Amino acid sequence: MLTSLRPASGAAARCSGGPARRCAAPPRQRQRPRRAPLPPPRAAAEQAPGLAIGSAVRMSTLPTCELAVAVYPRFKYNAADGGGSGRVADLGGGKLRLTFDPAELNIPALNWRTASIFGVPIPPPLNIAIVPQRFEGTLDRATGVMELSFLARFEFTAGSLYKAPPLIVETVLTTEHSEGQIHSADGRRLGPDGSARLVGVARVPRVEAENDWWTNIFLMLPTDALAVMDARFEFSD
């Protein structure tokens, strides 16, 4: 009596001829080792060691800044050695709040040492001092987007000959796009090296002092004022 051999489950058996057929089990298939799942990619801003959550931030302004007012050409503005320190608060959801102390914030004045048009320094004794009143806002760590509220007094003098009433300038400095009626500019998000470009267009109102018509005429007030600020941010505990 012949005994029948049932092929292995899931594959056909190979049999040789003859009265009593011999059937061999099919070769086993090699199982590929399972790879461990890859971790989710981290945002570039989170990989930057300088962007870890801390309690303090230091901003340093760079030589490649620019300023513009009305229809005048842009000033090349060397703001090196400027900056200041601030506090950092975790708002949750990957967002930080940055608050700078205006009393410790140094923004170099515009004069013949720091500002030029078409490579020509502005003539002395013209001087525009920038006195910060507020500088605070948010940073999105996942994207590097920054939005900082900026308020300052711009004090224009020409030596002892002339002193204009302070101009109040208020804007939002952003790493995105800022546009006014005359000027516009694009920023650059905070990178792994801590550098960013903040831009903002403010609408500067007329000077209301009765005896100061010259400032309104010279600056064409009311008008746009543009700030382009290149800076580096360092975070620490």
pLDDT digits (tens, 9 = 90+) for 138-189: 999 999 999 999 999 999 999 998 898 899 999 999 999 999 999 999 999 9
Q: Is residue 110 part of a domain?
A: yes
| Dihedral sign, Cα of residue 17, residue 21, residue 22, residue 23 | positive
- Give residue 212's pLDDT: 80
The one-character DSSP state at 100 is: E
Q: Is residue 230 part of a domain?
A: yes
Residue ranges, the chain, pLDDT below 70: 1-54
Its domain, for residue 111, covers 61-236
Q: Is residue 48 part of a domain?
A: no
Q: Is residue 222 part of a domain?
A: yes
Length of the chain: 237
Number of separate domains in the chain: 1
Q: Is residue 111 part of a domain?
A: yes
Task: Give the Cα-Cα-Cα angle 226, 147, 101 (nearest 5 degrees).
Answer: 90
- Give residue 49's pLDDT: 39
pTM above 0.85, yes or no: no
Q: Is residue 51 part of a domain?
A: no
- Give residue 154's pLDDT: 95
| Dihedral sign, Cα of residue 115, residue 67, residue 86, residue 94 | negative
- Give residue 140's pLDDT: 96
Q: Is residue 22 part of a domain?
A: no
60 residue type, one letter: S
- Give residue 209's pLDDT: 79
Q: Is residue 20 part of a domain?
A: no
